[in-house]
């Protein structure tokens, strides 16, 4: 008897998540209020973006899409994902890439993952690399 109820909660969670994503994307600023993104890619560290624990990050750029990548210590997988993102076609929409790197239990960051993220130059828009705050 518990299994159908357990699965119904999972399905309900997925539906709520999809609705939140759809409502957020449709209620975003109208197209005429968006500013064009610079053509070149820039790397910005977390210290130049207003991100405070428990509050949403604030950005000075307005984009159509914000791709958020969360990683830990998988430099090779991150490299594959970033190469794939470089082939993305947006049909004129603007985008920004956020790469968030978590720390391990000893508060260390995987250096190879950080190097891959920092060296990446996205053709589509700006790239920001954020390292988890201690």
Please state the rounded mean pLDDT for residues 50-67.
75
Coarse DSSP helix, strand, coil percentages of the chain, rounded to the nearest 5 percent: 40, 20, 45
Domain extent for 103:
32-131
Asked whether residue 26 is assigned to any structural domain, the reply reads: no
Tally of domains within the chain: 1
**How many other CB atoms are there within 10 angstroms of residue 105's CB atom?**
5
**Longest distance between any two alpha carbons in the chain, whole Å:** 56
Q: Is this structure's pTM higher than 0.75?
A: no
Q: Are 64 and 46 in contact (CB under 8 A)?
A: no
The pLDDT tens digits for 15-54 are 776 766 555 544 444 443 444 433 333 344 433 456 666 7
Structural domain includes residue 125: yes
């Amino acid at each position: 008897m518990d299994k159908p109820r357990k699965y119904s909660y999972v399905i309900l969670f997925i539906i709520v998540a999809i609705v939140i994503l759809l409502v957020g994307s449709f209620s975003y600023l109208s197209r005429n209020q968006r500013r064009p993104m610079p053509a070149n890619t820039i790397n910005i560290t977390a210290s130049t973006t207003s991100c405070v624990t428990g509050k949403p990050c604030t950005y000075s750029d307005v984009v159509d899409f914000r791709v958020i990548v969360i990683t830990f210590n998988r430099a090779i997988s991150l490299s594959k994902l970033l190469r794939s993102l470089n082939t993305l076609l947006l049909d004129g929409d603007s985008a920004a890439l956020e790469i968030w790197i978590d720390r391990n239990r000893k508060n260390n960051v995987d250096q190879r993952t950080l190097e891959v993220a920092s060296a990446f130059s996205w053709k589509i828009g700006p790239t920001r690399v954020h390292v988890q705050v201690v």
